[in-house]
């Protein structure tokens, strides 16, 4: 399943520095500025009076530039904390020592059972609202950020195959007191259809963001987006509803793109507004207003994010695809 973190092994841990501390670490300390100015002044006074003031200024500028080049760079985990700082999440959770394996085999028998359909009236304050489903939601912070900004407008459902991440997300949602978001431990290819067909409101948006790449060719069958899931999304997506995909791995992004491009009932955003995309049809920016954790990690390392946004055609547009 998709995730918003790096691949390998993750460990739940606290963020060592706050947003303000992280930002202040980038600033040149006052004492250092003064010492640089003082040392430069001494050098200036020891020279003959023929030394120009411009020489003094250039020495100070060079010294400051040298210091700025040596300033510590924020780690990607700190960048994530900054991006989601306004959620004010607690990282001192009583979950014990938790290790999460990023790569899991979704075809394993341990993930074969479909998720239990929740009582939508219990998990959402208004289950008639339009629904967004994030497949492979990872830690869930991406969805929480969206849910906090759109109360009474849309409900959010995060599906994640790693149960320990779901448990942590549930604690955060309770602390945030949000009533328009819910997380489920689920293998999306198996559970998606059952879940969305039972939901009382319209399915408005489906996102698959930086899913596990499963690089080896023999493992491509483990990738989350396969034809059955594409069909389930299309069958349940309301006309005008959207599908948003992205990956920092071009091969994975291209694989998802190829599958969705084949669906006649889906139109890509570049068909409506080509200015939103580059010459190869990838979105120029993230349309969601917030980056996922994996997106932040990847971009901090200089990687490109490949994005596509599709929209289901309206019923009048679909008439030409039906049998007479």
State the CATH architecture for 124-317.
3-Layer(aba) Sandwich (3.40)
Number of helical (H) and strand (E) elements in the chain, helices listed first: 13, 9
Residue 222 binned pLDDT confidence (cut-offs 50, 70, 90):
confident
Per-residue confidence (pLDDT) for residue 55, from 0 to 100: 58
Angle between helices 30-46 and 53-70 (to 10 degrees): 150
Instruction: Return the higher-pLDDT residue of 94 and 255.
Output: 255
Instruction: Return the higher-pLDDT residue of 231 and 324.
Output: 231
Of 38-52, 149-163, 226-240, the one with minimum mean pLDDT is 38-52
CB 248 within 8 A of CB 210: yes
Judged against a pLDDT cut of 50, whether residue 18 lies above it is answered with: no
DSSP for 54-116 reads HHHHHHHHHHHHHHHHHSPPPPHHHHHHHHTGGG------S--S-EEES---TTSGGG-SPPP
d(CA 180, CA 157): 9
212 is known as an active-site residue? yes
Judged against a pLDDT cut of 80, whether residue 41 lies above it is answered with: no
Per-residue confidence (pLDDT) for residue 32, from 0 to 100: 31
Per-residue confidence (pLDDT) for residue 90, from 0 to 100: 85
Q: What pLDDT digit, counting tens, does each position of 86-101 carry?
A: 999 987 766 544 555 5
Judged against a pLDDT cut of 60, whether residue 137 lies above it is answered with: yes
Per-residue confidence (pLDDT) for residue 10, from 0 to 100: 37
Judged against a pLDDT cut of 80, whether residue 52 lies above it is answered with: no
Nearest to 4 by CA among 57, 106, 61, 83: 83
Instruction: Return the higher-pLDDT residue of 154 and 108.
Output: 154
Judged against a pLDDT cut of 90, whether residue 244 lies above it is answered with: yes
d(CA 146, CA 86): 12
Per-residue confidence (pLDDT) for residue 57, from 0 to 100: 57
Per-residue confidence (pLDDT) for residue 250, from 0 to 100: 97
Instruction: Please tell me which residue in 134, 212, 248, 255 is annotated as part of the active site.
Output: 212
Nearest to 286 by CA among 129, 131, 83: 83
d(CA 195, CA 187): 11
The helix/strand/coil state of 294 is helix
d(CA 208, CA 224): 9
Q: Where are the domains of the chain?
A: 124-317
Of 12-26, 39-53, 64-78, the one with minimum mean pLDDT is 12-26
Per-residue confidence (pLDDT) for residue 317, from 0 to 100: 61
In this prediction the pTM is 0.74
Judged against a pLDDT cut of 90, whether residue 230 lies above it is answered with: yes
CB 209 within 8 A of CB 244: yes
CB 279 within 8 A of CB 235: no
Per-residue confidence (pLDDT) for residue 190, from 0 to 100: 96
Q: How much is the mean pLDDT over the chain?
A: 80
d(CA 74, CA 321): 52
d(CA 8, CA 252): 18
Judged against a pLDDT cut of 70, whether residue 324 lies above it is answered with: no
């Amino acid at each position: 399943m998709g995730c918003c973190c790096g691949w390998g092994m993750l460990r739940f841990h606290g963020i060592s520095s706050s947003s303000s501390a992280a930002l202040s670490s980038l600033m040149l300390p006052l004492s250092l500025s003064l010492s640089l100015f003082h040392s430069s002044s001494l050098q200036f006074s020891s020279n003959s009076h023929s030394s120009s003031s411009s020489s003094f200024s250039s020495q100070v500028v060079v010294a400051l530039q040298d210091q700025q080049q040596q300033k510590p760079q924020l780690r990607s985990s700190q960048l994530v904390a900054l991006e989601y700082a306004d959620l004010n999440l607690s990282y001192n959770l009583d979950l014990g020592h938790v290790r999460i394996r990023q790569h899991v085999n979704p075809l394993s028998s341990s993930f074969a059972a479909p998720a239990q359909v929740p009582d939508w009236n219990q998990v959402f304050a208004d289950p008639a609202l339009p629904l967004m489903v994030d497949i492979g939601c990872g830690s869930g912070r991406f969805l929480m950020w969206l849910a906090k900004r759109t109360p009474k407008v849309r409900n959010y459902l995060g599906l994640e195959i790693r149960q320990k991440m779901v448990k942590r997300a549930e604690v955060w949602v309770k602390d945030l007191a949000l009533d328009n978001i819910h997380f489920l431990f689920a293998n999306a290819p198996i559970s998606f259809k059952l879940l969305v067909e039972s939901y009382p409101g319209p399915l408005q948006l489906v996102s698959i963001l930086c899913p596990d790449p499963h690089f080896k060719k023999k493992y491509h069958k483990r990738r989350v987006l396969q034809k059955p899931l594409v069909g389930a999304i299309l069958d349940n997506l309301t006309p005008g509803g959207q599908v948003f995909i992205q990956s920092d791995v071009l091969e994975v992004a291209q694989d998802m793109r190829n599958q969705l491009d084949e669906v006649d009932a889906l139109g890509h955003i570049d068909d409506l507004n080509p200015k939103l995309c580059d010459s190869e049809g990838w979105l120029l920016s993230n349309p969601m207003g917030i980056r996922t954790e994996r997106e932040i990690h990847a971009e901090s390392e200089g990687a490109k994010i490949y994005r596509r946004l599709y929209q289901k055609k309206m019923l009048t547009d679909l008439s030409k695809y039906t049998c007479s």
